[in-house]
Structure 1
Amino acid sequence: MIRWRMGEVTRIRREWPGAVELDVAVPEGECRALAYPPLVGRPEPGDEVLLNTTALAMGLGTGGYAMVVAVPNRLPEDPTGPGHLVKARYTPLQATVLGADEQDSPYHELLREADSLDGMPVVVADLHSALAPILCGLYAARPGVRVAYVMLDGGALPAWFSMSCAKLREIGWLSGVVTVGQAFGGDVEAVTTHTGLLAARHVLEADVAIVTQGPGNLGTGTRWGFSGVSAGEAVNAAAVLRGRPVAALRVSEGDKRERHVGVSHHSLTAYGRVALAPAQVPVPELPGAFGERVRDQAEVLAVRHELVAVPVDGLREALSAAPVKLSTMGRGLEEDLAYFLTSAAAGRHVAGLLG
């Protein structure tokens, strides 16, 4: 299940908040590794490190790092301060965090009685790669809006893995990241998607929340066996808390897999079968036969949801000016323009919902 290696750090490649990328010498040669200093301390050149090399051996794309499990000869100090939520529970790297909704939190009283999002729009998407283009569409129409990202635990568990999140926080495009379920490392920690949404609204004072899983996506090529089913559950959570759920479609013209061409089967299952509460579904007005295909496929969602046609004029320019690299499944803006336009259209639609 786990491939273990001991190695020696040879170089610090780069770092961003919560993460350090390294070169590490191992018996097979040299590999790229990732360490999370809040968990294991900050490795330095010359340090011996214990690695989990499973992702490298499997050839994973998003997770193609050896992961630093420990710096055995230079352990970090014991944590201090409050925090009783345990995440990554009962794994060797279980960690305690201070949950916004736990009793020791300064926000406990606020969240103990909180029961409504006060109509806050909640944009739900399947993939983490939709986050930046949604923001591009939103900010092109409504600069200055406060947006919180609620990160589900279907992909990466540490929010620190996402370089785009770090950059979006730095430039003010995100007012904060809320990590829920087993995910951790956000500006705010919460137990469930429900308390995460409430924290986005009442702790971070967001005008809009965007909900996706973290980087990475688990799929088996079956109708139900993919981590993005959580998108349908997030629609339900937003609705029961009296938010305004907006279901962003996953659309692709560049994917080689037929099940993801046009409207992905992930969207059709998550929103058509899992989401029991109605949502607004922005449908991009893409040109030509492909646009017709997308509109036809989306029609099956009209049984429960409200389909909203959204023009895409000007969105390509907004996406080209994105402050972070746009990539989905290894494809950039030009390789899968339809994917990014569809996500940006969801952001444009949400801008129109704000008073």
Structure 2
Amino acid sequence: MSLGRQWNGCQEAQVVDSHGHTIRALAYTQLVGTLTTGMDVHLNSTALDRGLGTGGYAMIVATHTAQPHQGRRPDSHGHLVKARYTPTQAMVLGVDEQESEHHDTMREATSLDGMPVITTDLHSALPAIVTGIEQGWTKTTPPTIAYVMTDGGALPAWFSRTVDTLRSTQRITSVITTGQAFGGDFEAATLHTGLLAARHVVRADIAIVIQGPGNLGTGTPWGFSGIHVGEVINATHILGGHPIAALRLSGADARPRHQGISHHSLTAIGKVALAPATVICPQLPADTWFTDLFTANDTLAADALSTLITRQIADLRDQAPHHTYIDQDLTPALHTALHHSPVTLSTMGRGYTSDPLAFLAVAAAGLWAATHIN
């Protein structure tokens, strides 16, 4: 075994199996211990064998020669167990449990006090939403942004190099992992306490709530992990926050159910979200800077895409009239910021130039939220 890149809580390795094949593998070092060149490891390659979108990794679940941390982070005195009853369950200190220094704060926290909470389907939207917030932010001090990660995708926040880069460059202030997800700056038992921690512990100006990497979809109306968007809207409303829905859009996805507005967004916002939310509806400009983004490789041309999205939004308004629908212009400045993003933008294997609308649409929600904070 040889070692590759390393980032917060993760270690890449090249592992040679018993057949002499080299396998790209990943270890969470706080769960399995420190890796060294040449050691023997046990791999879980089930998703890799099926060609699923796990980042192209087999997962290292144990080593022969290293002593693992047995799932307890070295600095943790908590008893909150996540990924419960799995071989790699992690014991962490929850921000909301009795041993936490924030327990008294969390015990008294009952409201988000109107805090904007942006939610959307795919983890890949996170850096684009942050870019939108930065574009719309006018105050002299930088925004305090909390990323609240749900457990619909990856459980360890360590897996996301996007989160690691945004966190290390201070473009997001804190990561809060909720439910069965773990590895954030703060751990929370539920989505609700994660939101309350964003407001009362992190003191966030804005919270962004998205699942971790590894969206699950089955091609059925209800079988997708991004359905959590509706539940985030409901939870935010219950807690007195301002839920803001960013639409999952695409002009390059070959699957009809994801062209224009994805059926994931239409279902989660139109059917699951029983509480009212602000839905940001990007307005596709006819300007050259925008139409030039669409090449022959795109599934739909800009004008056909605009017609489709207009119809989809009209249908969504009819289906869910309790939401407020906001038309948000897409601007050349937003395009420039995304095009030069220091964090690599990629969704479903497509970069910004391959599917610009996917990133412009969610960035528009960040832009609107930043310009409408009290």
Shift of 1:92: 1.2
Match of 1:161, as an amino acid? F
| Secondary structure of 2:350's aligned partner | coil
CA distance in structure 2 between the partners assigned to 1:99 and 1:305 by the alignment: 33
Shift of 1:320: 1.3
Q: Which residue of 2 aligns with 1:306?
A: 324
- Are the aligned partners of 1:88 and 1:95 in contact in 2 as well (CA < 8 Å)? yes
Q: Which residue of 2 aligns with 1:336?
A: 355
Shift of 1:77: 4.9
Q: Which residue of 2 aligns with 1:102?
A: 97
- Are the aligned partners of 1:284 and 1:312 in contact in 2 as well (CA < 8 Å)? yes
| Aligned: 1:137 with 2:132 | yes
CA distance in structure 2 between the partners assigned to 1:324 and 1:139 by the alignment: 14
| Aligned: 1:291 with 2:306 | yes
- Are the aligned partners of 1:283 and 1:295 in contact in 2 as well (CA < 8 Å)? no
Q: Which residue of 2 aligns with 1:226?
A: 224
Query: 59-68 or 209-218: which moved more?
Result: 59-68
Q: Which residue of 2 aligns with 1:170?
A: 168
Scaled by the length of structure 1, the TM-score of the pair is 0.95
CA distance in structure 2 between the partners assigned to 1:292 and 1:317 by the alignment: 25
- Are the aligned partners of 1:152 and 1:214 in contact in 2 as well (CA < 8 Å)? yes
Can you list the C-alpha shifts for 1:155-178, whole angstroms capped at 9, x where unaligned? 000000000100000111110111
| Secondary structure of 1:206's aligned partner | coil
From 335, 351, 354, give the equivalent of 1:316. 335
- Are the aligned partners of 1:55 and 1:63 in contact in 2 as well (CA < 8 Å)? no
CA distance in structure 1 between the partners assigned to 2:63 and 2:77 by the alignment: 25
CA distance in structure 1 between the partners assigned to 2:241 and 2:165 by the alignment: 27
CA distance in structure 1 between the partners assigned to 2:27 and 2:324 by the alignment: 44
| Secondary structure of 2:218's aligned partner | coil
| Secondary structure of 2:366's aligned partner | helix
Q: How does 1:182-193 map to 2 (within 5 A)?
A: 182-193=180-191
- Are the aligned partners of 1:181 and 1:191 in contact in 2 as well (CA < 8 Å)? yes
CA distance in structure 2 between the partners assigned to 1:137 and 1:326 by the alignment: 13
Can you list the C-alpha shifts for 1:278-337, whole angstroms capped at 9, x where unaligned? 111111111333123212202233212111011111211010121210000000001111
Match of 1:187, as an amino acid? D
| Secondary structure of 1:100's aligned partner | coil
Q: Which residue of 1 aligns with 2:267?
A: 269
CA distance in structure 1 between the partners assigned to 2:6 and 2:16 by the alignment: 19
Can you list the C-alpha shifts for 1:328-350, whole angstroms capped at 9, x where unaligned? 00000011111111011011111
Q: Which residue of 2 aligns with 1:34?
A: 26
How many residue pairs align between the two structures? Answer: 346
Q: Which residue of 1 aligns with 2:115?
A: 120
Shift of 1:258: 0.1
Pairwise CA RMSD: 1.2
CA distance in structure 2 between the partners assigned to 1:88 and 1:62 by the alignment: 17
Q: Which residue of 1 aligns with 2:47?
A: 55
Scaled by the length of structure 2, the TM-score of the pair is 0.90
**Structure 1 residue ranges, 4+ long, deviating more than 6 angstroms after superposition:** none
Residue segments in structure 2 that go unaligned for 5+ positions in a row: 286-302
Shift of 1:354: 1.4
CA distance in structure 1 between the partners assigned to 2:170 and 2:136 by the alignment: 16
CA distance in structure 2 between the partners assigned to 1:77 and 1:179 by the alignment: 20
CA distance in structure 1 between the partners assigned to 2:11 and 2:90 by the alignment: 19
Kindly, what percent of the aligned residue pairs are identical?
54
CA distance in structure 1 between the partners assigned to 2:161 and 2:178 by the alignment: 19
- Are the aligned partners of 1:121 and 1:353 in contact in 2 as well (CA < 8 Å)? no
CA distance in structure 2 between the partners assigned to 1:17 and 1:86 by the alignment: 20
Can you list the C-alpha shifts for 1:29-60, whole angstroms capped at 9, x where unaligned? 11100001111112110111111111221111
CA distance in structure 2 between the partners assigned to 1:27 and 1:63 by the alignment: 23
Residue segments in structure 1 that go unaligned for 5+ positions in a row: 1-8
Q: Which residue of 2 aligns with 1:68?
A: 60
Shift of 1:203: 1.0
- Are the aligned partners of 2:62 and 2:68 in contact in 1 as well (CA < 8 Å)? no
